[in-house]
Amino acid sequence: MLEKTYEPETVEDRIFADWIAANAFAAGAGAKPGAETFTIVIPPPNVTGSLHIGHALNNTIQDILIRYNRMLKKDVLWQPGMDHAGIATQMIVERQLAERQQPGRREMGREKFVERVWEWKDESGGAIINQLKRLGASADFSRERFTMGSRSEPDDQMVRAVTKVFVELKKRGLIYRAKRLVNWHPGLETAISDLEVENIEVKGHMWHLRYPLADGVTYEFPVAFDEDGKPTGYETRDYIVVATTRPETMLGDTGVAVHPDDERYKGLIGKFVTLPLVGRRIPIIADTYADPALGSGAVKITPAHDFNDFEVGVRNDLSQINIFTTTAAINDNAPEAYRGLDRFEARKKILADLEAGGILDHVEDKKIMVPHDEKSKLVVIEPFLADQWFADAETLAQPAIKAVREGRTRFVPQQYENLFFAWMENIKPWCVSRQLWWGHRIPAWYGPDGEAFVEESEAAALAAAEKHYGRTVELKRDEDVLDTWFSSALWPFSTLGWPEETPELKRYYQTDVLVTGFDIIFFWVARMMMMGLEFMGEEPFHTVYMHALVRDEKGQKMSKTKGNVIDPLKLIEEYGADATRFTLAAMAAQGRDIRLSINRVEGYRNFVTKLWNAARFLEMNECRRVAGYDPKANKLPLNRWIVGATARAVAAVTRGIEEYKFNEAANAAYDFVWGTFCDWYVEFSKPVLMGADEASKAETQATAAYVLDQILKILHPFMPFVTEELWGETGKAGPARESQLILAEWPELSGLEDPQADAELNWLMELISSVRSVKTELNVPGGAKLPLVVVGASEETTRRLVESAALITRLARLEAISPAASVPQGSAQFVVGEATWALPLEGVIDIGAEKARLTREMDKLDGEVAGIDRKLANEQFVAKAPEEVIEEQRTRREAAVERRAKIAEAIARLS
């Protein structure tokens, strides 16, 4: 006997263990022989991460797809794993060392430190994998991969894949080493990706500085203007005003730019200024980068410390002077007075000195965008000139762009293709080197003169060097590691065994769908596509499903600092994994963010309980599965109707999942289970189950059990735990289950539609609802049982009444039903079908209230008829609207008119 309420916490762990024991998540589990494959690679979560609500949504959707396809009996692989999160992991371990007052990274040395990171990984990394399990994720955990391979196997295939790709790309000219401006993290002393930079608006200042002209040059600067803005007065200046938000970078200025068409400064182009505090003579150049409308119209150029200035410098052949150390302190390229100062200290001192020297013209407040590292949002990122390895992203992007243009990879929803194109078509060289220790060390060895030998092993590099130099030389390996995303980009094929030609690689690549949030389109999608196309010659997936961002109920992005984070693990604890999953699925409408509210989760928890109790009812009434039950052979309209409705529900859920409309699928299941099966079918079944007609009873018991089975199947991808539990419980009676629900076959029901049974049951539901409604509106006490009188019933109605009398009297709480030639005095009346129905309430009924009620209904019908008449009277409508629309309007009108006539009669009878 099932408990009264379902308690997820006591069931979920056990069910999960059962699945694992049955090997149900293994690639190909339950597949039909020769079945096609269905593969998803998890977008690898970060080894330092823990499950947040975005992961919960992401993995719920993947699991729905996986479980659904597994039930279609395909050869399913859900490939799980994690990435090694170079920066984040190194930071955590360094912080840990500091907290424990142990020797730091540099004191400990590289080898020991990396060893230490592995220890951390083994002890506390990867919590998220267990959290995914709590969510019910049915990934093949036996195949779990890690982008760094494994600690015990330095030559792990995951590592070899990365090395091989790097070496190959170098040989193909798609990776090169160059001195370029990169985004530099002065705290970690490493380059980071431009995607790891977040521009944050802060209150800043615009400092206007007077740079003195060199060589005694002066010019006339307009200071007075007429109505048309034409200058009318000038002053003689021996300086040019430049505006900057970062005055400390002036130490690295190597030019001043003005717009070539800017009349104010035309005469100065080609002249020089003397850089204050430094004394360097730098040219005034013409470049359209200078915006005459912005600031003073003249702009200082610091090629080594600003991305735009870098470009200007290249165009105008300006030198690049780096003034910062790797920790963003002033270096020896600056005047002695500033050396060693931190960038913010330097700013203060420089401003003070400029002011003292009369250089500072004026200051204005300005909101400025400042690059921060997007993790902590605390460290200001510096554009920094450094030797780095770059991938030629532009070249690599072309086939990926083409793949999407030509539809070989499709985005759902499609609008995200625009975002993809926008980024891919303006893609910058990808800096792939990081000055970290935790990561894939770059397979480059340098000779004595700095020549780089990029090979898969040190031996190969030595051989190449010997060939190059004509003698054996000592080589020094590159200190840097690769961007974590470099290895993540290989995920769709490296996890399948590449560079080995494994059977898995052959079988499961190309994978099917990548499921991800749009905020990460550039990280996963773009890079996986580039590498997949380059090394496998085929797109890594044919479909990219972009799901929404989960926000709080007010639409705010969840963040720890805001304190509005909803922890999915808490939801799972409180409401169960099934309710959590179902909520996310039901709210996952395409192209729209999810505003998650606890109320919804609670509502769906109630749904889980409802399902549980329906099963409990069936159990109590001995609704057991019957071997050889044929839903087409049902005799009772009730059972013929419900199997047809089940078929419609199955079709709706199937369509929803197939079209990635998870909310539609979830809602279709919800509506059917609660609104149709529980609210009507179960109620209808009661008189039969408690009646004396053994044949009907048996048929209903078998049908109920059959329908519940279908319900468990279609709900399983959304609510795997409770459905599996019920599958097990209901499997205890009747024929033995062939498998767990997870490996059961998805229903494909056809030929179960029965319009006649539908019509009959619809009529029944309308009749019962009408009685209830009238009783409520006339304030008849709920418990009171009234007789129901029918007038003008057709033969068909009479037959239905005879067959279903017990059922109607029960559900509508009636005393009896009887035909009559006319409506009894003082009755409440209503119309269903062709007949008029009456509830005799002589003496009880408030004639005025009843009249008012009927009049309201008549008015409504009048309104409807009038509306339709307006349309039908419109010649244009009749001429231009499609025939079926016109026909539909006529039918509706006819029905309304008929009904109105009966209501009118009913009113007349009251008077």
Partner RNA sequence: GGGUGCGUAGCUCAGCGGGAGAGCACUGCCUUCACACGGCAGGGGUCACAGGUUCAAUCCCUGUCGCACCCA
Binding residues for ATP: 560
Tell me the sheet residues that pair with 412: 545
Least Å from the CB of residue 53 to RNA = 13
Among positions 17, 223, 337, 885, the unique one binding RNA when judged by CB under 7 A? 885
Instruction: Write out the binding residues for RNA, residues 176-215 only, by CB under 7 A.
Output: 194-195, 199
Residue (514 or 548) nearer to RNA, CB: 548
Q: What counts of helices (H) and strands (E) characterise the chain? A: 29, 31
Q: Does the CA dihedral 161-162-167-169 come out positive or negative?
A: positive
What are the residues whose beta carbons fall under 8 Å from the beta carbon of 211, sequence distance 6 or more?
239, 240, 241, 242, 256, 273, 274, 275, 276, 300, 359
Supply the minimum distance, in Å, between the C-beta of residue 179 and RNA. Answer: 21
CB of 58 to RNA, least distance (A): 17
Spatial CA neighbour of 489 closest among 193, 174, 161: 161
Q: Please give the annotated binding residues, written as ranges.
A: 560
Nearest CB to RNA, comparing residues 362 and 428: 428
Does position 564 interact with RNA (CB under 7 A)? The reply is: no
Out of 419, 460, 505, 698, the residue judged to bind RNA by CB under 7 A: 419
Q: Which is nearer to RNA, 221 or 421 (CB)?
A: 421
Residue from 616, 716, 800, 902 binding RNA (CB under 7 A): 616
| Site for RNA contains 50 (CB under 7 A) | no
Cβ proximity to RNA: between 74 and 259 the closer is 259
**Which among 118-126, 339-347, 477-485, 868-876 is the span making contact with RNA, rule CB under 7 A?**
868-876
Q: Using the rule CB under 7 A, give the single segment among 216-224, 483-491, 815-823, 875-883 that binds RNA.
A: 875-883
Binding residues for RNA restricted to 723-762, rule: CB under 7 A: none
Q: How far is the CB of 466 from RNA (least distance, A)?
A: 45
Output 18 or 553, the one with its CB closest to RNA: 553
Q: Which is nearer to RNA, 96 or 613 (CB)?
A: 613
367 pairs with which residues across the strands?
203
Site string for RNA, 776-795 (x = CB under 7 A): xx---xxx------------
CB of 333 or CB of 667, closer to RNA? 667
Considering only residues 525-554, where is the footprint of RNA by CB under 7 A? 551, 553-554
Site membership for RNA, residue 14 (CB under 7 A)? no
- Output 212 or 292, the one with its CB closest to RNA: 292
Please, which residues bridge with residue 77 across strands? 39
Does the protein bind RNA through residue 847 (CB under 7 A)?
A: no
Residue 623 CB, nearest approach to RNA (Å): 11
Non-local (6+) Cβ contacts of 295 within 8 A are 206, 208, 242, 243
- Pick the closer one to RNA by CB: 102 or 874: 874
Q: Nearest to residue 576, comparing CAs of 418, 720, 465, 728?
A: 720
Of the pair 211, 681, the CB lying nearest RNA is at 681
Q: How many residues bind RNA (CB under 7 A)?
A: 72
Rg (CA), the chain: 38
Query: Among residues 268, 594, 791, 823, which is the contact residue for RNA, using CB under 7 A?
Result: 594
b/e code 856-874 from CB counts within 10 Å (16+ = b): ebbeebeebbeebeeeeee
Closer to RNA by CB, 439 or 833: give it. Answer: 833
CB of 198 to RNA, least distance (A): 7
Q: What are the C-alpha distances in Å from 390 to residues 20, 175, 444, 592, 851?
A: 43, 6, 13, 36, 83
Among the listed residues 177, 605, 625, 909, the single contact to RNA using CB under 7 A? 605
**Min dist. Cβ of residue 714 to RNA (A):** 17
Residue of 325, 564, 597, 739 interacting with RNA (CB under 7 A): 597
In angstroms, what CA-CA distances link 358 with 205, 208, 318, 362? 18, 11, 27, 10
Q: Tell me 525's DSSP state.
A: I
List 557, 562, 632, 732, residue binding RNA (CB under 7 A): 557
**Binding-site member from 200, 874, 890, 894 for RNA (CB under 7 A):** 874
Tell me the DSSP string of 542-610: EEEEEEPPEE-TTSPBP-TTTT-PPPHHHHHHHH-HHHHHHHHHHT--TTS-EE--HHHHHHHHHHHHH
Of the candidate residues 98, 223, 294, 620, the single one contacting RNA (CB under 7 A): 620
- Lookup: tokens for 256: 């001043």
Residues 121-150 close enough to bind RNA by CB under 7 A: none
Residues from 341 through 380 that contact RNA (CB under 7 A): 369
CB of 196 to RNA, least distance (A): 10
Helices (H), 681-789: 682-690, 694-715, 720-730, 755-777
Residue with tokens 């303006």: 426
Stretch that binds RNA, among 247-255, 472-480, 593-601, 799-807 (CB under 7 A): 593-601
With vertex at residue 691, the alpha carbon angle to CA 685 and CA 696, rounded to the nearest 5 degrees, is 65
What is d(CA 127, CA 595) in angstroms, rounded to the nearest whole number? 26
| Cα distance between residue 514 and residue 40, in whole Å | 6
Cβ of residue 774: shortest distance to RNA, in angstroms? 9
Provide the minimum distance between the beta carbon of 308 and RNA in the complex, in angstroms, as a whole number.
7
Do β-strands 476-477 and 298-301 pair in parallel, antiparallel, or remain unpaired? unpaired
Q: Which of 389, 390, 438, 436 is nearest to 148 (CA)?
A: 438
Name the minimum Å distance from CB 240 to RNA. Answer: 24
Q: Is 422 in the site for RNA (CB under 7 A)?
A: yes
Continuous segment of H or E residues that includes residue 366: strand 360-373
Footprint on residues 503-522 left by RNA (CB under 7 A): 519
Choices 101-109, 440-448, 599-607, 638-646; region in contact with RNA by CB under 7 A: 599-607
Residues 319, 275: Cα–Cα separation, whole Å: 14
CB-count exposure of residue 795 (10 Å: 0-12, 13-18, 19+) = exposed
Query: How far apart, in whole angstroms, are the C-alpha atoms of residue 594 and residue 241?
Result: 50
Q: Output the six-digit token pair for 455.
A: 């090979």
DSSP-H helix ranges across 659-692: 662-670, 682-690
Q: Which parts of 757-776 interact with RNA (CB under 7 A)?
A: 769, 772-773, 776
Taking CA 126 as the corner, what is the angle to CA 720 and CA 141, rounded to the nearest 5 degrees?
45
Tokens of 397: 């992007």
Residue 108 exposed, middle or buried by CB count within 10 Å (0-12, 13-18, 19+):
middle
Minimum distance from residue 683 beta carbon to RNA (Å): 6
Residue 881 interacting with RNA (CB under 7 A): yes
Binding mask 684-723 for RNA (x = CB under 7 A): --x---x---------------------------------
CB of 769 to RNA, least distance (A): 4
Q: Should residue 587 be labelled a site residue for RNA when binding is judged by CB under 7 A?
A: yes
Spatial distance between the Cα atoms of 896 and 900, rounded to a whole number of angstroms: 6
Nearer to RNA, 250 or 614 (CB): 614
When asked if residue 580 is in the footprint of RNA (CB under 7 A), the reply is no
Residue 589 makes contact with RNA by CB under 7 A: yes
Residue from 104, 357, 503, 591 binding RNA (CB under 7 A): 591
Residue from 218, 599, 818, 825 in contact with RNA (CB under 7 A): 599
Q: In this structure, what DSSP letter does residue 517 have?
A: E
Sign of CA dihedral 188, 194, 196, 197: positive
Among 189, 538, 573, 683, binds RNA (CB under 7 A): 683
**Residue 609 touching RNA (CB under 7 A):** yes
Minimum distance, C-beta of residue 384 to RNA, in the bound complex (Å): 17
